[in-house]
A and B are shown apart, each in its own frame.
Chain A
Amino acid sequence: MSSVSQMKENSETSKWLDAHYDPVANLYTFSSCIALADLHGDGENKLVVGDLGTGSCNMKLKVYRGTGLMSENTLLDLPTGLVSFLMDQHEPRTPAIAVASGPFIYVYKNLRPYFKFTLPPLEVNALEQDVWNQAREDMIDPLSLKEMLEGIRDKADVPLSVRSLRFLMLDPQDTEAFVNLHKAQPIRRQTVITCIGTLKKNMADEDAVSCLVIGTESKDVYILDPEAFTILSKMSLPSPPTQMDVTGQFDVEFRITVACRNGNIYILRRDSPKPKYCIELSSHPVGLVRMGKSVVVGCAQETLQGFTQKGKKLWTACLPAPVTTMGVMDLPTRGFQAVLVGLANCEVHLYRDKNLISTIKTPDVVTSICFGRYGREDGTLIMTTKGGGLIVKILKRTAVFDDRDSAPGPPLAQSIRLNIPKKTKLYVDQTMRERENAVAMHRAFQMDLSRLRLAAARAYVKALESSLTPMSSSLSEPLKMNAVVQGLGPSFKLTLNIQNTAACRPVMNLAISFLYDESLYSMKTAFFKVTFLLIHHISHFLFIRLFVRDNAAHIITYIIITVSHNNMCRCVA
């Protein structure tokens, strides 16, 4: 078995050349922030990475060439997505880089800042605008401003701006200063970009001009003109988009497949401002790629699912670990297409439809995957890891992927022998003995059983006779009684302990009577009522004084009487 797996491993490693591995490249990025592009038009593709830095600062746009870092540009905010696209027909045909970040798209040409696009502001609530106008002219004080804004917040269709929301959170003493600081500014409601993609404008060629497609937090999708950066088309979704795949040409027909934050996937088409199809998944989509005419989705529930372009489910494959990222492996020269799935168990699986065709082991969990032409090498796989490492692998030209499903046929466990303990000598002897002396053993057992029953019955009778712990005989008054005599005489104290053993039913109307020889004992009260209710697990103690005229031991019987029954218990004094 080990040799088989070794062979398999060898064949896996033989498919890829380890071109570069830098475990401390310090890259914090996702598949959406990685692109390969021929930035200088010299026929050599560079790797462009939008690095999130620490997650709050030190964001960089990094460009790698070969195994080294070529340039670094500081970014002002977290990069959400990064694409390379051709924005015009000018020669030389060098692609621009668009970095989406907050509400802006920064466009770089030749690695120099070229243009900044700002998302159009969202509609502002007219009432809110009104109220702030009044505040600007000092017609209302902060207190009434606050009241009015609260009223608007609770029933408005258009949500309030950040300023109003922040204002409503302030302590009363800070409100005045806040109003004075902000009232002169116009109210703005800004949203942010959540994903970005490209769409060819009117030609399908490799080097055709592309439009930018952006998804926003305000649940909209915009298509931007590549030259003028005007909005060509706007579509809306039921939920904020998280990632998208775009295919087709803007002027002809296109299809935008968008995974949304509500766990659904929507398919948008030309001439339709609303989604045309919807795929409802049972868990969140983590990765979304398109392969030919089908959409492949990696779900958080450790499954990989394939859908048609119209949202019909084609297949499901189970994954051994949660998906971290996905990418498409496209080798047009060989006519080969497959889906790369990064998994949390430090593996990258290569799927063609539902068939697992190859597995790559990685030293760390992969967080982003990009396959394409890097440098002058067509089949390059670029991955970054959770620990910030950068891995570059090159597909060998001799590598062949079997289309056969390499997923196991019968489960491995089927061939494992059951762990059944061996029969011991003792056991065998015992069994033989049992067989030979079956009758005798059975009789001995029967006799012992009878003896046991007899012993139990005797003990029971003994307990009953000695009244050690008298119990009530009726079910309606489940009482437990116990009498203790204290003292040296001639005066004794008789303590009666009465306990109700019922779970929740109180016992009422009890009376206690003592039967004794009046010539021997005297008692203050020989008959009295138990006035209180007896509740489960609380013991009630009654103290009775008792005088003995003679030293002889005699029997005092006490009886507990209820309305309908009486239970007699004897007590030896």
Chain B
Amino acid sequence: MAAAQAGLPVRLESVAGELPLPVFVGITNELEMRYPNHPSTNESQPHILGSLTGSAPHPPADRPVLRHPDTSMDKQEAWSPPRSPGISPPCSPSAYRSYPYGAQRNGTDTLLAYDGKVPGRPSVPQENSSPSHYSLKLQSEQPVITRGASVERLVERAEIDYSDEPWRITEEQREYYTNQFRSLQPDLNALIMGTVAKNFFTKSKLPIPELSHIWELSDVDKDGALTFPEFCTAFHLIVARKNGYPLPETLPATLRPGFVEPGVVTVPPSEATEPLIVFDDNMMPGANQLEMGSVDLQMTSRPGVTAKQDRREESRKPAEFSPKRIPDPHEKPIQRVSTLKPDSPQELDANMKSRTRPRSYSSTSMDDAMKKVEEPPTPPPRPQKTHSRASSLDLNKLFQQSGQGSRPSQHSLSAKSGWLPPPPALPPRPPATQIFSFLPSSEKSSQKAVQQPNFADFSKFREEDSTLRHQGHAPQKPVRRKLHPESQSATPPSATPYSAATLTKSTQRPPPKQKREIQMAIRKNRETNAVLTRLNSELQQQLKVVHRERVTLESQLELLRPVAST
């Protein structure tokens, strides 16, 4: 293996000159080839890919040969018997993971000999041995040994799909990522810890700063762990990087976690991408634009709400509610909010189960202002267990207290119908906090307000869930959340343990709107107070200066008077 690896760079240099060209040529060829070959099996794709890369050093006339992958199989055998074990794995993507790394190395080894033949055989049919092409591509693309045979195959797959859009993840790539995800974390809805992911991605031999950048790009909720879509994004970026694509500064729209929804069955891509793209546009420029992005998200999501199924509505709702939370924390770190927003649609879709349903009805009871105040913009995504929790009971009580007759019915369990009214009420999107303060006064806002606290509730639960699941990382989230309500004088100090804080927060939710208003007023007063205090101190200093001057002048006057009098 070591010899092969050592041999690889040596060989690579000799062919490096031609290979970059072949790669790009191969990619453009793929565009033509892709659609005719797309319906073909996975096996043929690698064949094509391999053939494309192999064809680069060969005259273009060989390309027509690509159309007949069948004939290539025979040639394949002629080349290298050792490579035949490698042929079978490509046929089954699921076997990628288990494919012995050593076997790949063997293929590479033999490929070295093949490379020597390549320049000398212009008429060599390309579509043959996919593993050989795998290795060829391997050599051309990755002088460094990647994390495994699976990664190399993935690169091949990725190559195929880069023809028209390098940042789009195809189905087979997704399948591959799913398998890799499962190898790290059996539950697709769970998170991969940062350290686990770090070790895994370090195997790809990319330099650490690049991996760090990839992490920053893909961990949109900034929780130090990767959800499945985030993992796909990160993996995809790594693959892209290994293929020579420069890392983007910002996350492309197609790679946003919301765009790729593993569990979603019927999400129309257009709808899913709409808000996400808006996010993308708005997230990147700067913190101040995040609110705008959230507005847009709301706008785009709103039409979707009325037209779509409940699940969709619910997925939108959290997105809508999370933007609502944004205005509340004034100049709060808006970035955090926006990062949470992509998380919310993504997580919602990921957690599409019936859990989301309950959320809808529970939202009605709370005062959204309260929620916002206490809950930094955490997306409501993780629903439900609310009913089992005390806070949900509180919500129920509050709900009844508020006397909203329609709501309790929603509460009961099929909240879907109740879900509809609130979304349309969202339009008066508060771009600034002042508007938000008006919300409690309006009816609709009260509905929204009610819904929001529930989200806060859910987000608490989600945090609690994540606490249970990922102890190492959950504390980061709560600490983060604590940073947000900094100006919120009423919020408990962040020093309190996370669980205690969540409990206290949940108990604080029941208070009526007025308390929230009072808190807002308190906060404003404190700020004015601070400003006034500062002004006061400055004025005091000026007063002292003036006083000193006056004293000196008086003393001078005293001195002069006797002189004058005499």
> Are A and B associated in one complex?
no
**Contact residues of A with B, CB < 8 Å?**
none
**Contact residues of B with A, CB < 8 Å?**
none
